Amino acid sequence: MEKNSRIYVAGHRGLVGSAIVRNLKQKGYTNLIYKTHSELDLTNQAAVRKFFKQEKPEYVFLAAAKVGGINANNKYPADFIFQNLEIQNNVIGASFDFNVKKLLFLGSSCIYPKMCPQPINEEYLLSGYLESTNEAYALAKISGLKMCQFFKRQYGANFISCMPTNLYGPNDNFDLNSSHVMPALIRKFYEAKVNDQSYVEVWGSGKPLREFLHVDDMADGCVFLMENYDGEQHMNIGTGKEVTIAELAETIKDIVGFEGEIKFNTDKLDGTPRKLLDISKLESLGWKYKIELREGIKATYKWFKENYMFS
């Protein structure tokens, strides 16, 4: 990519897309293209094709998606598979038809089997059953990365994919009905402190292990891949470190300064017991994360207090 290349970031207002925009600007890229959902509905094929024909992007970061936590994924599976497939098909198809030089598709570590060997190597994809609570989202993402592989294989299109681990940071979704575990816990502990509650309820047993990557590190990894990688194999992006949900809750409790109890609601689903990515392929190319977990949570909590508007 040249510094003045026309770069389209799909989903630029979200957690992932906004971080990619920040990273590109920091690196000196000056010709960025993005549209809000009201300006361009990515589920509308005709509108997407009109946009590509008019704007002629040379590079595309496909970070737009319908996303949510375990509750939202479990409750609205039809919405998650249908809308994500629409977005992916429209953007990838238009990128091919309108001669985009390179596209990066972003997936999620939930594409891997529920009982996957750990750490999870890229080759473990489709080697077992998916976690049922996010199966719909995972199937859409698997389809997206396979589509990129097949366009590359059949037509030589330079479409690549990466699979980030659990992400967090500025512009995350802190809605308790649809958020992932990190922003949900930050909001719960903040509200418990402000309202002088005696305890915070954490869903599940607290035993599942999770890997967390700050979204600014993820964005840096994505731009690195766009600049340095052209392979057919999708690439994991993570830290290679993990914590239990109970350890995460204790860390957030300490950072927020909440002095009450933590109560685990074991009636709620735990989800996948463990999801640690094997990041050796990306590290062998010369990229490594920079932001440690506690430092990243502190920065995210600061952003939350300064920016989040409660409805």
Residue 174: closest CA among 74, 311, 270: 311
What is the pLDDT of the chain when averaged over all its residues?
94
Residue 141 lies in a domain: yes
Residue 57 lies in a domain: yes
Residue 257 lies in a domain: no
Q: What is the pLDDT of residue 76?
A: 86
Number of compact structural domains in the chain = 1
Binding residues for NADP(+): 11-17, 106-109, 141, 164-167, 180
Binding residues: 11-17, 106-109, 141, 164-167, 180, 188, 203, 210, 270
pTM: 0.92
Residue 265 — pLDDT band, cuts 50, 70, 90? very high
Residue 258 lies in a domain: no
Residue 206 lies in a domain: no
Residue 193 lies in a domain: no
Q: What is the pLDDT of residue 23?
A: 98
- For residue 158, what are its two tokens? 């330079």
CATH number at residue 51: 3.40.50.720
Contact between 93 and 53 under an 8 Å Cβ cutoff? The reply is no
Q: Quickly tell me which residue has 């490594």 as its tokens.
A: 288
Contact between 19 and 169 under an 8 Å Cβ cutoff? The reply is yes
Higher pLDDT: 212 or 67? It is 212
Q: What is the pLDDT of residue 311?
A: 45
Residue 27: closest CA among 218, 259, 224: 224
The SS3 assignment for 119 reads coil
Average pLDDT of the residues in 128-142: 92
76 is in which domain, residue-wise?
7-169+212-241+275-291
Supply the residues annotated as catalytic: 137
| DSSP codes joined into one string, 203-229 | ES-S--EE-EEEHHHHHHHHHHHHHH-
Residue 310, pLDDT > 80, answer: no
